[in-house]
Every structure is written in C-alpha cells, then in structure tokens.
Amino acid sequence: MNLHMNRNLKKRLSEVSEKNLIYILSMVIGLLAGIAAFTLKSFIHYVSYFLTRHLKATDGSIIYLAFPMVGILISVLIVRYLVRDDISHGISKILSALSKKGSYIKAHNMFSSMITSGFTIGFGGSVGAESPIVYTGSAIGSYVSSVFNLNQNQLRLLIGCGATGAIAGIFKAPIAGIMFTLEVLMLDLTMASLIPLLISGITAATFAYFFMGSEVLFHFDITNQFNSNNLPYYVLLGIFCGFISLYFTRTGMFVESRFKLIKNNYNKLIIGGISLGLIVFLFPSLWGEGYESINKIFVGKGPELLNNSVFFDWKTEPVVLLLILVMILFLKVIAMAITTSSGGVGGIFAPTLFMGAIGGYILSLSLNTFFGLKLPQANFALAGMGALMAGVMHAPLLGIFLIAEITGGYQLLIPLIVSVIVSYVTITRFEPHSIYTKRLAELGDLVTHHKDKAAMHYMNTKELIETDFEILTPDLSLGQMIYFIARSKRDLFPVVDSDGFMKGMIKMNDIRNIMFEQELYEKITVQDLMYMPEFFISPNDTIEVIVEKFKSCGRYNLAVIDDGKYIGFISRARVFSAYRDTIADLSYE
C-alpha cells in the first residue's frame, strides 16, 4: 500500500511544473532539516543535563575528566562498525560533493552525523553541532534530488536548501542560513535559487519557533547603546579577532596533522580522550558547545566561566581572571581539534562563536582594567563573535547577519560591521582560504569558490575533440594529397602511419603556394612537407591545462595525442563555446 501511495505521489509531482516542484521540495527539505536541528539540539541538551545536573559551581568534578572520552568512544564504535565511512569535516565534504559533477552525498549522512555528534558533544566533546546538522540537511537535499532524478543544477540547489534549512532551524535565523549557503558553500545567487533557499530557511525557522517558542541559544539585551567614541576600539577588536582567526585555522590543522601520524585508531582515542579530559577538567567552560558560557558573558557574569573549575576561588581577581580567560581562548581550538582528530564528530561553528565571545570579552575587560575605560563587555563579546566568524569562515555577511538575527542586535550593526570587516581584511592578508576550504585547496579540489575554475572542472576534454579531419600518410605525393584537400572542410591535415601514430601535420597555408604547381606533384611527398607540432594535448589533460596551453602557444588548434597515437584536434573556439555553455548551466535559472 505504501509503495502504491509513493507511486501516486511521484506521479502527481511529475505533473507539477519544474519551478513549482523545486518550491515544494525546498519546503519539504526545510521542514526535515528543521526537525533534524531540533532533534539533535534536544538530544545534546538532555544528555549534557543528565551528566552534569548535580554539580556544584564551587567544586571540580571527575565527570569532566572521564566523560569526553566516553562520548568519543561511542562515536568511534558507531562509525567503525555501523556507518563504516568517514563523516568528519562535514562542510568540507559538502564542498567536495559540490565540486564533483554528478556527485551525491551518501544517504547515511541523513542520520549518521546526528547520532555520532550527539554522543560526542553531549558527553563533553568541545565541538559544535552545526556542521553535522548542515551535513544532515545537505544529505536530505541530495537524497530528495536522487529520488526525483533531478539534474546537476537542481541537485546543487537542493543541497543548498538543506544547508540553509539546517542553519535557520538551529538559530531561527533564515537570512543567516542563506548567507551561509552563499558565502560558505558559494551557491550562485539568482532569483531562481533565492526563492527556494528562502522557502527552506523560513520553513525550518518556523518549525523551530513552533516547537521551541521564543527560546534561543543566546539571550542578549542591549543595555548599552552604540557610542561612536568607542569605534576605534571596535577596529582594534577586528584586528585582534583577525589574528585569533589565523591562530584558530593554523593551530586546528596542525593538531589534526599530528594526530594523523598516529595510525592506530584506538591509540588516537586514548591519547585524545585523556588530553581532552584533562583540558575540560581544568577548564569546564570548554565542555561541549559553550553556549552557556556565551550567555554568562552577555548577562554580565563573565567570572562564572570559572565555575566547577580548580581556579574558582580566583575569579574575583581581574588580572588572574584575564590570564585564565586567555588560556581558555587558546585551549579551545586545541580541545576542538583533539575531539575531532581522536574520533569524535562535530564542527567548528560553535567553537568559533565561543572564541569570538571570549576574545571580545578579554579585550574589553583588559582595556577597562588597565586603562580605566568603561567599554560595554557584552557588546564587545557580541561583535567578537561576528568578527571571528568572518575570519575563520571567510564569511563576513554570515558573521553580520547571524549575530544580528540570533541576538536581536541590529542596533549594534555599525560596530558589528566594523569589527567583521577589519577581521576579514586582517585574516586574508595571511590566509587566502577559510578553514573549510583550505584542505580542498591544498588538494586542488576546491572549485565551488571560483566560478571560472568550476566551469572548467565540469567540462569534459573528450567531448571537445573534433575528428572530421582528412588523415594523410607520410608516403603520399603532393598530387595525391590534392585529392584529400579538395574534399576536406578543414585546413589542417594530420599525418598518421599505418599503426595510428601521429608523424606530423600539414597546414593549408604552408602549401598554398605550391599546391597548383603540377610539375611538383610527383617530386614532393607529405613527408617533405609535414612537421611535428611543438604543442599538443593529451586526452587526460584537464581543461585548465588545455586553456593554459592555448594561452602559452597562441595556436587556434591543438592536436590530441594519446601515447603517440592520433586522436583528433581541439580548437580554441570549441573550448570557449563549451565554457560559455557551462557557465550558463551553472547558474540555475
């Protein structure tokens, strides 16, 4: 009966216009992504609450030492024996999928990332749930696309809808969801793509409001209005966060590279679990995602970041508090990298926001303590979150709109924009790629962030080869060659031996002055006239390589030779025409 219903549903949807079908599917994907976000966030909350509900603020606890390893162990076992696939670095995996023609995200990612990250974070892993939820939403979009046999451009759009819905569902911020898809996943913004993204984002956010009401991850009340006299300090904050972003990216990747040298997965688990447990035991604010710590800063209770810590008694000393906060800032990225490198599943989204808030709090507290200023610490923490997001993810618009949406901080839009832009400009002077794209860029697999490169990536060299050329043999006389010239529509003539090997080529312009001198017909052979081209193409060359060869040699046609054997020619005009068609196809209209 269910099969019959599914067939009827697909039949009815097949009668819907393409545009309306995409609208319907984007709504479905947004709803499912919202459900995924709500489910995972709830699971993490209740697991963490169950484990820590009896702790007193004044006491340290062995829980912080033991449980992070337990959560990672559960995740490792699930991945190894049930999933049997690499599900780490979800955003990079999405970018990799978008970079490959016809590449779908595996269906198990609709649930595997959620389950494993739920245990990792719920048990104290110092990572975020956003990346797994985005991976889940994108996998839902990919799966729906495969069910309805949609084309490549529609697949990319629905993957974007899944990512948009995931971010919108987590933060109740549909505009930020769209900014994430545009800046991080680099999906083209056209009216045809904007409407489905909006539908998906609004659907997911509406679901989140329906089930969670007005409850949000952060609660921020503006008690200090923007003072233009503080603008130089927001510029300083942007520079500070730019360098924190550089530290975040390079330290995170360095720690991961060290763990890759450990070949045994259980040794990784033991080393990582013990190291993470010690860090979280000393600094319990590094437990889990860290959103509770951000809220403490927003409500003026920054010293409570030392609750449950062995440093609890020193929280009233401003200088000591600053030193401990600096240690927390620098250890967060290490704790995050250890969590994922040792087998845990999670993302960098929450750690980025956490470090941004801590960074803004440290800067404002330092200036207030040592220079007697009265900077609003909550406002600086807010701006720091957006600034670090712009630096780490190279997504300034996402940093601006996400922070403004989830905190209602539009009244602080000017300092937020200033800090974000300065941070972004600072990091790009040292690091051209975001932490998401750096790995792919090093492998040469990053095409989503460069439309020109993406177009060439999707072009197929073998589809550009032209074979309608008259083929000559070396022993033909000039008189015999005239027959082939007369029936040819091209002005190039490849010279090939009996085994198919290319011996050279002849251009019409090279023989035009002798082709009508009949006394030479029997005296001159093809071998006397041919020459071997200096530049040629292999059928395995990428389009980028071919374009570079055309650019360097200045030729209009290049021979295609495979291990010495003649295949055909590729023309500059054919490449350019295919390039224009591919650029048009990449923009969903």
CA 514 to chain centre: 61
Q: Which pLDDT score, from 0 to 100, does residue 423 have?
A: 97
**Which sequence spans correspond to the domains of the chain?**
14-212, 228-446, 455-586
Q: Rounded to the nearest 5°, which phi and psi values hold at 54? A: -95, 0
Q: Half-sphere exposure of residue 215, counting CA atoms within 13 Å on the CB side?
A: 9
Q: Which pLDDT score, from 0 to 100, does residue 587 have?
A: 57
Q: Which of 140, 147, 157, 182 is nearest to 39 (CA)?
A: 140
Task: Tell me the fold of 455-586.
Answer: CBS-domain (3.10.580)
pLDDT tens, position by position, for the chain (589 residues)? 454 545 665 566 566 678 889 999 999 999 999 999 999 988 998 888 888 777 655 555 677 788 899 999 999 999 988 888 888 777 878 887 776 656 688 888 999 999 999 999 999 899 999 999 999 999 999 999 988 888 888 888 999 999 999 999 988 889 999 999 888 887 766 667 789 999 999 999 999 888 876 655 666 666 777 788 899 999 999 999 999 999 999 999 999 999 999 888 889 999 999 999 999 888 888 988 988 888 888 888 888 888 777 777 677 778 888 999 999 999 999 999 999 999 899 989 999 999 999 999 999 999 999 998 989 998 999 999 999 999 999 999 999 998 888 776 677 889 999 999 999 999 999 998 888 777 666 655 555 555 566 666 667 888 899 988 999 999 999 888 888 888 888 889 999 998 999 999 998 888 888 888 888 888 889 898 998 888 889 988 888 888 888 888 888 899 999 989 999 999 988 888 887 777 666 555 4
Q: Which of 236, 134, 117, 147 is nearest to 176 (CA)?
A: 134
Q: Which pLDDT score, from 0 to 100, does residue 408 have?
A: 67
Do 14-212 and 455-586 share a fold? no
Q: Half-sphere exposure of residue 174, counting CA atoms within 13 Å on the CB side?
A: 20
Q: Which pLDDT score, from 0 to 100, does residue 164 have?
A: 94
Token pair of 69 as six digits:
């390893």
| Cα four-point dihedral sign 138, 140, 141, 143 | positive
Q: Which pLDDT score, from 0 to 100, does residue 303 have?
A: 82
Q: Which pLDDT score, from 0 to 100, does residue 305 have?
A: 80
CA 331 to chain centre: 24
Q: Which pLDDT score, from 0 to 100, does residue 1 have?
A: 43
Other C-beta atoms closer than 10 Å to the C-beta of 451 total 15
Token pair of 471 as six digits:
């083929």
Which 3 state secondary structure label does DSSP give 301? coil
Q: Which pLDDT score, from 0 to 100, does residue 453 have?
A: 63
For the chain, the 3-state helix, strand and coil shares in percent, each to the nearest 5, are: 65, 5, 25
How far does the chain reach from its first CA to its final CA, in angstroms? 37
Cα–Cα distance measured from residue 434 to residue 391, given in angstroms and rounded to the nearest whole number = 8
Task: Tell me the fold of 14-212.
Answer: Clc chloride channel (1.10.3080)
Q: Rounded to the nearest 5°, which phi and psi values hold at 345? A: -120, 125
- How far CA 152 is from CA of 56, 99, 225, 547, 588, in Å, comes to 54, 11, 48, 24, 10
CATH superfamily of 228-446: Clc chloride channel (1.10.3080.10)
Q: Which pLDDT score, from 0 to 100, does residue 503 have?
A: 92
Residue bearing tokens 């860029």: 441
- How far CA 362 is from CA of 158, 319, 367, 368, in Å, comes to 41, 11, 9, 10
Which 3 state secondary structure label does DSSP give 496? strand
